[in-house]
Structure 1
Amino acid sequence: MYVIHLRYTGALAEIDDALEAHRLYLGRQFDAGAFIIAGPKVPRDGGIILAASMDRDRLDAIIAEDPFSQQRLAHYDIIEFKATRLAPDLNLPQSPWL
């Protein structure tokens, strides 16, 4: 799995202009099973995405499709980890890339 930390590099006005396209992109990735959780940071200077396990090259290609990436509005820090514990009664979807 991956934690993706987005840090905005563009002005908030630029982020707001690209936000609808970014949300459509997120929706496609959730539908495809690539993303599990996503949301803005508080304060609003970026966001966090939890991504399913997959080849890193595949993840990099997915991130390259993000309008924030294409417009150079965010920097992405990516942390890979192996989930070994899960809270009781919490079920994570299975990725098609496992």
Structure 2
Amino acid sequence: MFILSLTYKKSNDEADRHMESHLAWVKQGYDGGMFLASGRKVPRTGGMILAKGERSAIEAYVAADPFALHGVADYEIIEVAITTALPQLEDLKG
């Protein structure tokens, strides 16, 4: 599993200008089965996405995010080997 941590490099106003296309990109990630959960950081300095799949595929998908394409946010991709989870989240274990 991967944690995709987005950190805004530009203002929230600039992020808002690209939010619709970013959210469409996020929806495609869910539709394709790559994304498991997502949301904003509090305070609003970026966001977070939980993802599954091959690292190379995730890296390629992240590069196509409108936030990345327009320099709105930097991504940190963190791989996590889940060893313990609630019973309903057992599928996350690798």
Q: TM-score, normalised by structure 2?
A: 0.90
Regions of 4+ moved over 2 Å = 88-93
Shift of 1:91: 5.9
The C-alpha deviation readout for 1:27-74, integer Å capped at 9, x for no partner, is: 00000001101000000000010001x222111110011000000110
Shift of 1:12: 1.0
Q: Does 1:30 align with 2:30?
A: yes
Shift of 1:87: 1.0
Percent identity over paired residues: 37
Q: What CA RMSD, in Å, does the superposition of the two structures yield over aligned residues?
A: 1.7
Which structure 2 segments of 5+ residues have no match? none
Distance 2:66 2:91 in 1: 26
User: For 1:21-60, what aligned pairs fall within 5 Å after superposition?
Assistant: 21-52=21-52, 54-60=53-59
Q: Does 1:80 align with 2:79?
A: yes
Aligned length: 93
SS at match of 1:89: helix
Distance 1:64 1:77 in 2: 12
Which structure 1 segments of 5+ residues have no match? none
Q: TM-score, normalised by structure 1?
A: 0.87
